Amino acid sequence: MENKIKWGILGLGNIAHAFVEDLKFLTEAEVVAVGSRSDERATAFAQQYNIPNSYGCYEGVVQDPKVDVIYIATPHPSHEECAMLSLKAGKAVLCEKPFTVHAKETDELITCARENKIFLMEAMWSRFLPAIVKVREWLAKGVIGEIRQFKADFGFRCDWKPEGRLLNPKLAGGALLDVGVYPISFASMILGGRPARILSLAHLGITGVDEQFSAVFGYKAGKMALLSGAIRTETPKDAWIIGTEGVIHVPNFWRADSATLWLQGKQAEHYEMPLEGTGKSYEAAEVMRCLRAGKLESDIMPLDESLGIMKTMDIMRNQWGLLYPFERKVARFSFLE
């Protein structure tokens, strides 16, 4: 690896644009190759950002010898295939959330990455934002005592486009995998992984995906998380961490730029840090730190935790009877326990 870390990108949609813009904040990062299903889109994207290599297929990027690490920015059902393609070509991988559609796919990716000693990470970018780093610092110091409850919601009103990736079951649409993964991942981060009990409800809309859901998670020692997600309803997007000695409030927790600590009913500390761009540079910086240190996974977004999050979402979908059409075709599809 030369001085700069060289990125390749698969899938040139909305988030790929944001990611390339945000990489400009990292002087040691360079995008050297992009791949699209279409030659024209690849060429146009490469020209827009002055990227040297473009391919009208994903294979070209993963086989490009100049590329150190691949960012996967395709819709959910192709995350596993694209990540596997990249790992098998020996490339490190940062894969968009949700890591895969279900836990079995995540398990296969982790096995491949570990067997071949290649870096792999879920792009749960919120974890790396300065405000969330500050929240973890407060929690590590025990400032709010023992955590008793966590509450978080993430809902927005998407346009009515049944064929688009948010509402289309063929693209594993729905609130859980698109936005629900954020509060679930946050709960996992602060409450110690998978819940012991999960109670959940979803409303499946006319396209067959979950337009909204709510869940109560139960953890050891009576700790609880109350979570919800929605793709046809705007919600406040607040996170509240409630402890025996105080409360932490994180507005817009998924793209947090502030957090407030309350002790004995009074504001004790307020932290604010505007995001660089859209905030994707922080996760990319973590990937690059890990690669330079020769690490195969991030301590902040570990692979076993990503697997646990996928298992939790499998259980919830199982409770709702929500299988995507391509899962129904698998004769004996079963969720991982």
Ligand X SMILES: NC(=O)c1ccc[n+]([C@@H]2O[C@H](COP(=O)([O-])OP(=O)(O)OC[C@H]3O[C@@H](n4cnc5c(N)ncnc54)[C@H](OP(=O)(O)O)[C@@H]3O)[C@@H](O)[C@H]2O)c1
To the nearest whole angstrom, how small is the minimum distance from the Cβ of residue 275 to ligand X?
Answer: 11
In the chain, what's the furthest Cα-to-Cα distance? 60
Residue 277's nearest CA partner among 300, 253, 250, 257 is: 257
Q: Check 6, 91, 97, 237 and give the catalytic one.
A: 97
To the nearest whole angstrom, how small is the minimum distance from the Cβ of residue 56 to ligand X?
Answer: 9
Residues 121-140 that bind ligand X (CB under 6 A): 123, 125
To the nearest whole angstrom, how small is the minimum distance from the Cβ of residue 193 to ligand X?
Answer: 22
For 304, residues 6+ apart whose C-beta sits below 8 A from its C-beta are 110
Give whichever of 208 and 218 is closer to ligand X, judged by the CB atom: 208
Ranked by CB distance to ligand X, the top (closest) residue is 13
Alpha helices in 98-218 (DSSP H): 103-116, 130-140, 175, 181-191
Identified binder of ligand X from the candidate list 1, 38, 244, 267, rule CB under 6 A: 38
Identified binder of ligand X from the candidate list 6, 127, 134, 165, rule CB under 6 A: 165
Q: Is 49 in the site for ligand X (CB under 6 A)?
A: no
Give whichever of 138 and 324 is closer to ligand X, judged by the CB atom: 324
Q: Please confirm, yes or no, whether 141 is among the known catalytic residues.
A: no
CA distances to 26, 70, 124 from 300, in Å:
19, 19, 10
E strands present in the chain: 5-10, 29-35, 53-55, 69-72, 92-96, 120-123, 147-155, 197-204, 210-218, 224-230, 239-243, 246-250, 258-263, 266-272
Tell me the three state secondary structure of residue 229. Answer: strand
Judged by CB under 6 A, the number of residues near ligand X is 21
Q: Is 60 in the site for ligand X (CB under 6 A)?
A: no
Q: Let me know: does 186 contact 163? Beta carbons within 8 Å.
A: no
Identified binder of ligand X from the candidate list 20, 22, 36, 175, rule CB under 6 A: 36
To the nearest whole angstrom, how small is the minimum distance from the Cβ of residue 199 to ligand X?
Answer: 25
Give whichever of 37 and 203 is closer to ligand X, judged by the CB atom: 37
For residues 66 to 105, the per-residue mask of contacts with ligand X, x marking binding by CB under 6 A and - elsewhere, is -------xxxx-x-----------------xx--------
To the nearest whole angstrom, how small is the minimum distance from the Cβ of residue 149 to ligand X?
Answer: 26
Q: Is 41 in the site for ligand X (CB under 6 A)?
A: yes
CA distances to 11, 29, 34, 59, 269 from 45, in Å:
11, 18, 8, 17, 43
Give whichever of 4 and 170 is closer to ligand X, judged by the CB atom: 170
Identified binder of ligand X from the candidate list 5, 6, 7, 12, rule CB under 6 A: 12
User: Counting Cβ atoms within 10 Å, is residue 102 exposed (0-12), middle (13-18) or buried (19+)?
Assistant: buried
Residues 177-216 that bind ligand X (CB under 6 A): 178
User: Counting Cβ atoms within 10 Å, is residue 1 exposed (0-12), middle (13-18) or buried (19+)?
Assistant: exposed
CB atoms within 10 A of CB 107: 16
Identified binder of ligand X from the candidate list 14, 47, 244, 267, rule CB under 6 A: 14
Q: Let me know: does 173 contact 159? Beta carbons within 8 Å.
A: no
- Positions in the binding site for ligand X (CB under 6 A): 11-15, 36-38, 41, 73-76, 78, 96-97, 123, 125, 165, 171, 178
- List the catalytic residues: 97
